[in-house]
Structure 1
Amino acid sequence: MTETISALEWRRTEIIGELRRSGQVSWEEIGRACGMTRQGATRRWSRQVQASSFDTAAGAYHRGRPGYPLSSVEWLVPRRARRVLDLGAGTGQYTRLLVEAGLKVVAVEPSEQMRRRLCVALRKAEVREGRAERIPLEDGSVDAVVVAQTWHWVDPALAVPEVARVLVPGGTLSLVWNVRDLAEPWVADLDGILRRHSRSTIDTRPSIGEPFGRPEHMEIRWSHVMTRAELLDMVASRSYVITLPEADRALLLADVDRLLDSHPDLKGREEISLPYITRCTRVRLA
């Protein structure tokens, strides 16, 4: 019964997302149809709509999202680890590093389109459907859990005990985010364009709490070289861009196009070096 209710709620979220992306309905209309205010509907579904939006942009996500520095694996995954869970694996940006490090990797991802691309790109990884709140693994079956660019979408009250359940005693939960380095002027200008449509911020040092111990943190500065098309895909694959009405999304991408054509640090360049800060957190199961 619980699984049926969860599936129905997930489908309702998908329908609301489809309606929002098409521009057919406003949050006020959604709220009215569901017997609540506009603010209530926004609080109830906007985050879930964004979290479930990646199916429609899996291609752009795969092409535009950067990888991660190899040194992050060395810090996030204990040397003794053999079997590692990549939770919310997406199309495999972090999975690839784990596989190349010689680890036995289980990649869990809720989006069907993301999983399809992951299966094609990384045949050595074991790919399963699931999410942080309901992990399809046995108790004590992995040495480490890595969550790359995903923890801000999960419900910690459900995800923390689930992660603890699948970890071996003393296992490690590691969180990692790529954050654009706004110290670079053109990156700050790009951020300004994006923030016209979303002012939400990601907590890259979230509290984990029991049964995990004290968190440790590390930052890595690096640059990702990409083409103009890949940068546009990176922008198009942001959840708040995916869920914009089509007209607003087209305007945003046109603004990014103009930035690429006009900024002195970008104009005429075939390759663009985008600076990132990779923020890492690790905690051990007490």
Structure 2
Amino acid sequence: MTAAAPWLVALFVAGGLGLLIGSFLNVVVHRVPAGVSIARPASACPSCSSPIRRRDNVPVVSWLALRGRCRDCSAAISARYPIVELATGVFFLVVAARLWPLTDVPTEVLPLVSRLLSLLAFLWLAGASVALAVIDVEHHRLPDAIVLPSYAVGGVLLAASSALVGDWAALLRAGVGLAAMFLFYLALGLGWKGGMALGDIKLAGVLGLYLGWLGWAELAVGSFAAFLLGGLFSVVLLATRRVQRSGGIPFGPWMLAGAWVGVFAGGIVATGYLTLLGLA
């Protein structure tokens, strides 16, 4: 079997899994802020309460086949549903390509399992990122029900991944990253009126864990990018008078966006910056 075969399989599986997870995330986004169980009752049309048939639960395809309307009452179904599904599928595929590049496909058992565990950890973060971003935009909340389990899932999977190949340096960086980002956001929350909310502080620790595990460059770039992106967006909104200075602009989506900039381009950005300064 060539190296490209498992790589292509991994990308295909990750993209398909992302579509399915995206469908589930629509349930999470709708129910978690309302404090409703994500397991029961079964999904139903919010207009006529008719149960959603299995054939109408196929990600993206069902929405297109129904032309964005309920099969029973013809009520409009938000385009957010297929957008979340498709975006999650693409997101998962891109994350898999980043964590499992074709030029570095493990062939031995332990490194292969290690890579799979780290990939699962980052796919969890990708799914959580989609749900948290949508919820924070709509409700200005970062629910504990999503953030707190991410500590356990990320910690266990990344620790197991490192242990299998003896990469203890990655675990040390993960711990430092978690503590550094959590304490930095905590200091901002305590020292600046109207600064970081408690949800942002909790999320910061999760992002620090993941970014630190990847590397110092990813941690530094991912941390800084959140403030750069969030600041630029806020300036644009203020300049166009879309929001007042006292208006609330959720920072969670920019924390997540910045973290993923660190994941995908942290090494490149850090190297370019150091080269510009003549330090690399």
Give the structure with the higher percent helix: 2
Larger RCO: 1 or 2 (CA < 8 Å, sep 6+): 1
**Would you say same fold, with TM above 0.5?**
no
Give the structure with the higher percent strand: 1
What TM-score do the two structures reach when normalised by structure 1? 0.25
Larger Rg: 2
